[in-house]
Each structure stands twice: as C-alpha cells, then as structure tokens.
Amino acid sequence: MRGQGLDVTRSPNSDADRVIAGKRVEIKFSTLWESGVYELQQLRDQNYEFAVCLGISPFDAHCWVISKAVLRKHVIGHTPQHTGKGGTDTFWLSFDASRPHAWLAACGGRLADAYDIMRKWQAKR
C-alpha cells in the first residue's frame, strides 16, 4: 500500500492492524480454497473503521475495502465462526470467488479498485 502512495502506519493497539490514510484498518487474507471460495476468518467487532480483505488465487488477486457498517449489516452478528449459531466473538466472510456477494461490488474486487477507495481517503485528509 505504501508502494501505491498511501500513508501506512502501525495501529496504536491490537484492535486494528494498520492505520492507512488516517483510517483504522483490519487486514484479512485468504488464498483460494480448492472449492473455489475465499474464507476470510476471525472478523471481530473491534475498534477499526474498515476491513481490507485480500484474496489470492493462482492466477489473480482480489481486494475489498469493507466499512465496519457494511460488515455489521452482512457479517458481524450474522455468520459466526465458532460455537455454531450462538457464536458472538468471531465471524467469517465466505463466498465463491467467481461470484462475490452483490453487496461487495461497491467495496472493490480488483486490487486497483481497492487502491482507488483508499486513495480517496488520503485525498480528503
């Protein structure tokens, strides 16, 4: 992200992974599973503004920049990762890489799209 001209610093605490262009960001990563899905795990309701979700497949790289509000609407509180439907600590975002959820369309998809979203943050600073 620094290589793309974005200001990146360490987060002051463990609730976020980095501060990018002034925004507290949680970073999640998945390789493409054999079944063709990305599994972005350990999403928590912590002190961050956006999750940057990077997906790497054998022939492509994808990236979504998802606001905390969107995560709360679709993931946090809806798709528990542990303890079945009663899970309240960690959540995951799972989707077919060739057909991401429609609500992800505004959050990027290609690396260039994700960079554009974050550059807009920097331009507003």
More confident residue, 61 or 86: 61
- What domains can be seen in the chain, in order of their start residue? 2-124 (3.40.1350)
Provide Rg for the chain, Cα atoms.
14
Average pLDDT, the chain: 92
User: Taking residues 38-53, what's their average pLDDT?
Assistant: 95
pLDDT in tens, 86-121: 556 789 999 999 999 999 999 999 999 999 999 999
pLDDT in the model for residue 41:
92
Alpha-carbon span 12 to 32, nearest angstrom: 31
Percent of the chain surpassing pLDDT 70? 94
Assess whether pLDDT exceeds 60 at residue 71. yes
pLDDT in the model for residue 98:
92
Assess whether pLDDT exceeds 60 at residue 26. yes
Strand 18-20 and strand 23-31: the pairing is antiparallel
Alpha-carbon span 7 to 30, nearest angstrom: 24
pLDDT in the model for residue 81:
73
Tokens of 102: 């429609």
Split at pLDDT 50, 70, 90, the class of 85 is: low
- pTM for the whole structure: 0.90
